[in-house]
Structure 1
Amino acid sequence: MRRPHVRGKATVALLTGLALAVPTVAIEAGLTTPASSAAPTGDCAVAYPTAEVTAGQAVHGLTVTQGTAPTAFTGEVLGVLKDGILPGIDLVMARLTSTEIDRVGGIWQGMSGSPVYAADGRLIGAVAYGFSFGASPVAGITPFPQMQAALNRGMPRTISIGGKTARLLARQAGVSRTAAQQGFEQLPTPLAVGGVSASILNRKPTRPYQPKAAYPVGNASAAPAAPTADNIVAGGNLGVTYSTGDITQGAFGTVTSVCNGLVRGFGHPFNLLGQTTYAMTGADTLYIQEDPVGPPFTVANFGPPVGTINQDRTTGVSGPLGTLPTGATVTSILTHGATTRISSSTVTVQEALAQTTNYALVVNHQRVLDAFPPGAEQQAWTITGHQGATPFTLHAGNRYADANDITGMAQWDLPDLVWILGFVPDVTIDSVRGTAVVTDDASVFQLARAEQWTGGAWVKLSKDTPARAKAGKTLRLRLVLTNTAGNAVVPLSYEIPKSAVGQRGKLFLNPGFSFPFEQDAPPTTLAGIKKLLRNMVRTDQVRGDLSFFAPTGSIDLSKKTAPADRVISGSLRVKVFVQ
């Protein structure tokens, strides 16, 4: 499982198209294109040879500014950067205009993939780059012939330009020559997440699988007028998602062309995963948001899946309409008192499983508890999958308590486990299920004392009263746990080897801890992870490590108690003498 790649932001440039959510304006009168009405086969646009594109050439195109229907824009070619993107892939530069482009100050994140046509209706390419420092009407266009070829090479973030081109761009974009000369950059494709609040998305990442940045958007999948496959047309909205359902994650862009059910869009990669299994969705644009600092951006709702994006390449994304991808299910079942809620999401890209599991746990807590309150929680986990053709099932769980915020404490272990499973070769996860019961009592057990059964009675052990064991016999102990609501005892015993005769040892008693999967070098085999789960000491268990230093070498014995019904805190150290 690879973690989805997150691109950094460079200095200036034509940026890769971000799609969040976008409002749509009315089509400008008097302009028609091959995509203004989609035939059953799609527009099947004919590519315009990039070598024939000339400065001053009039162009027109389609994009969405509100709703789902494409509207028109016009423009003029400024020039062509030979090998501007990569060797053999030129970059067409054009100044674009429309009522909405003029209103927000330039092209926006979400226009990525918007088709740009020559006067004769042939398709020049897709809007895919823009100035990164702010709004600008100048767009970088990925040639459609290269999108058809679907090259699979690394896309440079920054494209250098010469002084002559910088002067041209400075005149056309209304920026300084120094700013223009910094080059072009892909329009960003930030992660858009539906079903998760901005306060959660804006958390500082503490795990490698947490996105560095994400934006809240809506999910119109169940709406009466939700976008359908009929809305996947040239210039229409294009959603590309990792997951759908309770937690929907992906990015918005624009459809460049549809032909015989094959959709092409974006004009640049999403995560450059190559062959992949994103879900393809439509989207309902609400509006285009101006941004005083950066480029404007789209605000939209994802629609339901209508196809599969199976290629994420240098010059765009593509895939078939109609065929839906299969995926792993992430389920969170949370009970608090009389309330039980089930959160269910389908994740079609394994790289997104850990972050989806984390979001599902947090959101379900937020929905059921309607706050971030103190409390205690018991979780049970089941993960199913297969390694190659061999199926497997993992069962585990843990208990949590927090006097301030139970959600913050209980959200990490299961996603951490999913994350480390992703590094095991040939493992595919089919389902992740977390079942939890939350109570309001956040109090814990205190590990108060250890006692030894000796002489027909339980004797309290202390620094002055060591445990006395016999070599070759069983050392029988119990641990006393205290709480204002009532005490509990848990048994703990050791078989003392004969080689320990005459030795003095120490017994270290410590409870388990949360986040047991935070290790510097987690296992990278399925057998290793199964062993990790077997040996895991839960927070409601105590691990006892008994050590002797015999003439023949160290003797180390380790045991853990059965789970108690509260989290345990505190630790003890007991001397042990062997007769």
Structure 2
Amino acid sequence: MSYRPARKSGVSRVAVATAAATVLIASLTAAPANAVSSDPNLFCDLPGQRLAISPISGLKEGEPVTWRSTVKGTKPTTFTGEYIGKLDNALGTDAAGKPRDLLLVKLDGDIVNGTSGSLAAGVWAGASGSPVYDADGALLGAVSYGFSSLPDNVAGVTPAAYMKAIGALPASKTLSPSQTQTVERMADEKSTARRSSTLRRIEPVRVTIGTSASDLDDATDRLSERIPGFRGAVAGGLAVPGGENRAADYPIVVGGNIAMSYGYGAVTEASVGTVTAICGTEVFAYGHPGSGNSALSASIHGASAARIVPDSAGSYKMVSAIGRVKGKLLDDRTAGIRGKLGVPAPTIEIRTTSAYGTLKNTTVTKVSEPGFIPGAAYAQMGNEAVRMLDNVQKGSARVEWTITYQRANGATATLKNVNRYASPSELPYYVGDGVANDVAALQSNPFEDVRILSVNVLTRFEADYRAAAFSGVQMLKSGRWVTVDSGSVLKAARGGSYSFRTVLAPAPGAKKVTEYAPFTVTVPKDVRSTYQVELFAPDADDEFGGEGPDPRSFAQFVAGLDDNYRSDVITRETWYTSTAGPRKAGEATIVAPTVLIGNGASVFLRFEVPATR
């Protein structure tokens, strides 16, 4: 939804565009809790997937290497290059304090260097994870870091031994002294290159479908600013155009494309990089962190490339489509990501049913990462407004939503709300605010952990901008509607009922139709002398927080959400002194057929009854 101007960036979303990692979580002296080989010389020793690790100490400057990456479709291409040295401690140290080095490789190929008919792309975003091999076919590691925003053919390579240890925490297992010596021989060579001050990771490409990356980031930032304690999750990488084909079973192969998603369907949020190695059902990729947070839940997919786009600001892989789910993410660490083929990550559904005229249909997003649910719901609603109205600006909508959630004690509960939205220029920007706000509030409530189970939304769209100002009240007298001014004193009988209607004048730029909302005033039988009624239009300042004490329990918190701000409701307050002496008060609502504007306009009526004898 690129029609929305950029907003001020917040600080609470889980961003993945981090700089070069300074610490490697996994120690090389710990055996990973996965299917990779226990032999420190081998990455994988399974039949048909046997892969040796290149001993770094044996590499010489100028030694030829090969590397594999996918530039179009799903089939990897093999390119050449040469080893030119390494940077000591460029990746910081592991948990045991051991330095981690970065290899330097000059990569060749027509796309990298360009030809007489094409521009040089250098190493492109989306190439991170491309495996690099020595002359014997042993794995050096993964293309992962760069040194210039200009097209450049020199890349930093995360050593294979570091990636093999993804998922192994320092306390897992200690290698024997002979194994430790072998590891040190593979990784401890004197530096042959100067340390770079411009080390930056080679980004994956970020593909968002159903919205734009900037709008999704803006929505997540606004929720973070609005809801105390909320932290949204969004994918990272260079935001580029991309597509999706959920029916396509794109393969996960070494050197091929791999997508890591927090949600997919009507709204897809994914990062696409390259597979470094596969051992059994385990997949290793990127050579650098995705989010760097293994607690975030993600699915992995195959993907197809359209082309490599040369760009002086940073070349990138254009993704023609992300395919069906192939498995789930296990680890997201500083040396790369590790996934498992087979069963996908558990997801919850955001289901939106939209109606316009006689047309009605449903779209679904499946979200694996809870922190992405509010942003996905917001984006899906905005996308529905554009899709149904074929208009990125004007429109109106009545939205009902039901959020099903699980409480800390295992009990299932629901939150249901409704509101109206209208705008002459930005309906897609507003229409998802309510549901996103409620999801984020439930997730970040201060009383107990809540797990969202599903989000269902029913929306009725209208192409016109329909909004009105509360401009007065009329009373039915002798079959005619007569205007009653605010402050009027009306003669009434105890127990009598009187018909009124609010007058809703069209707002500037709105459809020129005067609307009415009827209501009845019944004077109590026990009123002493005067029955007072005041009507208030909604105040937009109350939408995201009102007056009153903070909730002191989860029940009070949910009650506050359930009593949500509505843009189409006029509040009617009444009070009187009874014949028995006590003062009595009441409150009711009048639902209008349009969004109301006017910031709290009010009308006061006073009903007087005959004095008692």
Under a length normalisation based on structure 1, what TM-score does the superposition of the two structures give?
0.77
Residue 419, structure 1, aligned to residue 416, structure 2? no
Q: Distance in 1 between matches of 2:359 and 2:81?
A: 57
Q: 1:567: Cα distance to partner?
A: 2.4
Distance 1:434 1:127, change over 3 A: same
Listed one character per residue, the Cα deviations across residues 380-409 of structure 1 (whole Å, up to 9, x for unaligned) are: 101112123221111111112334454344
1:487, distance to aligned residue in structure 2 (A): 2.9
8 Å contact kept, 1:511–1:538: yes
Aligned-pair CA distance for 1:317: 0.9
Q: CA deviation at 1:219?
A: 0.6
Aligned to 1:6: 15
In 1: Cα distance, 2:58 partner to 2:242 partner: 40
Structure 1 match to 2:566: 538
Kindly provide the amino acid, as one letter, of the partner of residue 587 in structure 2: K
Please list the CA deviations of residues 397-444 of structure 1 after superposition, one character each: whole Å capped at 9, or x if unmatched.
111233445434423222222222221342121211111111244334
CA–CA distance in structure 1, aligned partners of residues 604 and 455 of structure 2: 41
Deviation at 1:198, TM superposition (A): 8.3
Are 1:380 and 2:400 counterparts? yes
Tell me the distance in 2 between the aligned counterparts of 1:576 and 1:41.
Answer: 89
Residue deviations 1:75-110 (CA, integer Å, cap 9, x gap): 222222232202132211111112222123421111
Residue 385 of structure 2 aligns with which residue?
A: 365
SS at match of 1:487: strand
More off after superposition, 198-207 vs 256-265: 198-207
Contact 1:413 1:515 in 2 (8 A): no
CA distance in 1, matches of 2:278, 2:240: 28
* SS class of match (1:442): coil
Q: What secondary structure sits across from 1:207 in the alignment?
A: helix
Native 8 Å contact 1:281 1:304 kept in 2: yes
Assess if the C-alpha contact under 8 Å between 1:198 and 1:216 holds in 2: no
Inter-CA distance 196–299: structure 2 relative to 1 (3 Å threshold)? same
1:429 aligns with 2:452: yes
- Deviation of the 1:4 alpha carbon: 5.0
Instruction: Tell me whether 1:79 sits opposite 2:85 in the alignment.
Output: yes
One-letter amino acid of the counterpart of residue 216, structure 1: P
Counterpart CA distance in 1 for 2:78 and 2:401 is 51
Match of 1:574 in 2: 604
CA–CA separation in structure 1 for the residues paired with 2:434 and 2:542: 5
Q: Hey, what does 2:25 align to over in structure 1? A: none
1:480 to 502, 511, 522: 502
Shift in Å, 1:42: 6.2
Query: Is residue 2:375 matched to residue 1:355?
Result: yes
Deviations 1:428-487 (A, max 9, x none): 212111111112443345423357999xx99976455358999x9999995523454553
SS in 2 for 1:358: helix
Q: Does the 8 A contact of 1:195 with 1:219 survive in 2?
A: no
User: Which one-letter code corresponds to 1:221 in the other structure?
Assistant: R
For 1:74 and 1:494, how far apart are their aligned partners in 2? 90
Q: Name the SS of the counterpart of 1:84 in structure 2.
A: coil
Choose which of 297, 305, 308 in structure 2 pairs with 1:288: 308
Corresponding pairs, count:
522
Partners of 1:374 and 1:398 in 2: how far apart?
Answer: 17
1:60 and 1:299 map into 2 onto residues whose CA distance is 24
Partners in 1 of 2:111 and 2:358 — Cα distance?
50
Cα distance in 1 for residues equivalent to 2:16 and 2:525:
57
- Structure 1 residue 181, shift from structure 2 partner: 4.5
CA shift for structure 1 position 255: 0.7
Say if 1:276 and 1:311, in contact at 8 Å, map to a contact too. no
Aligned to 1:90: 101
When structure 1 is superposed on structure 2, of 100-109 and 276-285 the one drifting more is 100-109
> Unpaired runs of 5+ in structure 2?
1-10, 23-41, 115-119, 170-189, 224-231, 506-512, 577-582
The alignment-based identity, stated in percent, is: 25
- Residues 403, 454 of structure 2: 8 Å contact kept: yes
Contact 1:64 1:70 (C-alpha < 8 Å) held by counterparts: yes
Query: What CA deviation, in whole Å up to 9, does each residue of 1:296-355 have, x standing for no partner?
Result: 444342111111112111111112111112201111111111222311111111111122
Match of 1:274, SS state, is coil
**Do 2:347 and 2:366's aligned partners in 1 also have CA atoms closer than 8 Å?**
yes
Give yes or no for the alignment of 1:69 onto 2:75: yes
Name the CA distance, whole Å, in 1 between partners of 2:524 and 2:106: 82
Indicate conservation of the 8 Å contact 1:478/1:490, yes or no. Answer: yes
Q: 1:5 to 1:557 in 2, by over 3 A?
A: farther
CA deviation vs aligned residue, 1:96-144 (integer Å, no higher than 9, x gap): 1122221234211111111111222221211110124222111111112
Go from structure 1 to structure 2 and tell me whether the alpha carbon gap of 1:343 and 1:44 turns closer, same or farther (over 3 Å shift). farther
8 Å contact kept, 1:412–1:515: no
Corresponding residue for residue 200 of structure 2: 185
Give the counterpart letter for 2:272 in structure 1: F
Change (3 A) 1:556 1:129: farther
Aligned-residue Cα RMSD (Å) equals 4.4
> Unmatched 5+ residue regions in structure 1?
15-33, 154-163, 170-179, 549-554
Q: Please say if residues 81 and 92 of structure 1, whose CA atoms lie closer than 8 Å, have aligned partners that are also in contact.
A: yes
Instruction: For residue 151 of structure 1, report the CA deviation from its aligned partner.
Output: 5.8
2:146 to 113, 120, 130: 130
| CA displacement 1:140-182 (0-9 Å, x = unmatched) | 11112121212689xxxxxxxxxx98x957xxxxxxxxxx953
Q: In structure 1, what is the Cα distance between the partners aligned to 2:153 and 2:457?
A: 48
SS in 2 for 1:85: coil
Partner SS state of residue 92, structure 1: strand
Distance 1:519 1:91 in 2: 54
What residue number does 2:509 align with? Answer: none
Aligned to 1:22: none
Q: What is the identity, as a one-letter code, of the residue corresponding to 1:531?
A: A
Instruction: Give runs of aligned pairs for residues 318-357 of structure 1, distance below 5 A.
Output: 318-357=338-377
TM-score by length of 2: 0.73
Which of the numbers 117, 121, 125 marks the counterpart of 1:109? 125
